[in-house]
């Protein structure tokens, strides 16, 4: 399997402004989130990247990409017809090849300096099929993620054969349909926001959109994929940071800082902040 293209979705109403937010990257440079994502994708060996945007957003996104703009093109999603439709908008760009897919409102911060997509790409090439990164996630976070059920593959560390896919399942649905042998009770394999897809995914999305012009979810298309061909989940050891969540940008910034060149400076500032707050709280108690 050759994977040379990537698709980043950034057109959802609650998502489109997030890739333009500026953070300080691990190298100490200020960059928009989109620029960080693009750099990570190129670091993994991807050659061309397509970003799905709303009409009129190309200029702002192009400016956010910065020096790597030559590797990026933009495709519009004219109507909000769902996540599956956003991915399908790139079908001519990806052609009949497998492609890497990421969401534009997540950041990935590996602690060992490797490109976040590197392990996923290696797994997809070795198994020659669609593979989604997943992370073992506690039950209370199920409303935030799609999740998969299946079985561990014998002799393959961290790989699962996907049998079921549900979008933001309830705890009851997850317990009934997504329990995975070997994963402790109350925890499930939730999407990491990073996938490698074969062209079959585009075929399924296109057929479903032709049948229902109102839109289609990606999770339902992936559930169909699992019924047609081998589809695997790869357990990602590092964390993903949903920058659209409450305090998501703050958490992502801390993760970048604590894994970057300014780690010591940031830790010193955090210790000073905590010490100042404790002193203030102590002074308040003594004055009562």
Q: What pLDDT does 214 receive?
A: 77
Q: Beta-carbon neighbour count of residue 73 at 10 Å?
A: 14
In a domain, 257, yes or no: no
Report helix angle 248-258 to 263-286, nearest 10: 120
In a domain, 261, yes or no: no
Q: What pLDDT does 286 receive?
A: 66
In a domain, 87, yes or no: yes
Query: Can you tell me the distance from the alpha carbon of 142 to that of 206, in angstroms, rounded to the nearest whole number?
Result: 28
Q: What pLDDT does 287 receive?
A: 64
Contact (CB, 8 A) for 52 and 12: no
In a domain, 139, yes or no: yes
Instruction: Compute mean pLDDT per 10 residues along the chain, 288 residues long, and list them.
Output: 96 90 95 96 97 96 96 94 95 98 93 85 96 95 93 90 96 94 94 96 96 87 96 92 93 94 93 86 67
In a domain, 280, yes or no: no
Q: What pLDDT does 213 receive?
A: 74
Q: What pLDDT does 88 receive?
A: 97
In a domain, 78, yes or no: yes
Domain CATH number, residue 144: 3.90.550.10
Indicate the burial class of 41 (C-beta count within 10 angstroms; 0-12, 13-18, 19 or more).
buried
Q: What is the pTM for the complete model shown?
A: 0.92
Q: What pLDDT does 198 receive?
A: 97
In a domain, 275, yes or no: no
**Residue range(s) defining the domain that contains residue 117:** 3-248
Domains: count for the chain: 1
Q: What is the DSSP letter of 18?
A: G
In a domain, 271, yes or no: no
Q: What pLDDT does 117 receive?
A: 93
């Amino acid at each position: 399997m050759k994977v040379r293209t990537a698709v980043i979705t950034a057109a959802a109403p609650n998502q489109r402004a997030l890739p333009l937010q500026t953070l300080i990257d691990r190298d100490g440079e200020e960059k928009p989130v989109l620029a960080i994502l693009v750099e990570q994708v190129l670091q993994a060996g991807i050659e061309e990247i397509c970003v799905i945007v709303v009409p009129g957003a190309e200029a702002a996104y192009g400016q956010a990409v910065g020096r790597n703009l030559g590797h990026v093109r933009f495709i519009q999603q004219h109507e909000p017809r769902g996540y599956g439709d956003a991915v399908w908008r790139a079908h001519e760009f990806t052609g009949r090849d497998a492609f890497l897919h990421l969401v534009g409102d997540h950041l990935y911060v590996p602690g060992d300096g490797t490109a976040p997509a590197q392990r996923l790409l290696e797994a997809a090439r070795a198994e020659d099929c669609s593979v989604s990164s997943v992370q073992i996630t506690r039950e209370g976070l199920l409303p935030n993620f799609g999740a998969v059920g299946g079985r561990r593959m014998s002799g393959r560390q961290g790989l699962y054969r996907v049998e079921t896919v549900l979008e933001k399942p309830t705890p009851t649905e997850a317990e009934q349909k997504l329990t995975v042998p070997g994963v402790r009770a109350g925890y499930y394999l939730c999407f990491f926001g990073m996938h490698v897809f074969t062209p079959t995914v585009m075929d399924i999305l296109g057929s479903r959109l032709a049948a229902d012009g109102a839109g289609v979810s990606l999770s339902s298309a992936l559930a169909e994929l699992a019924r047609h061909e081998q589809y695997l989940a790869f357990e990602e050891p590092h964390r993903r940071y949903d920058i659209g969540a409450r305090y998501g940008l703050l958490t992502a910034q801390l993760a970048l800082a604590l894994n970057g060149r300014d780690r010591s400076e940031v830790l010193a500032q955090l210790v000073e902040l905590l010490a100042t707050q404790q002193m203030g709280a102590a002074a308040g108690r003594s004055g009562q």
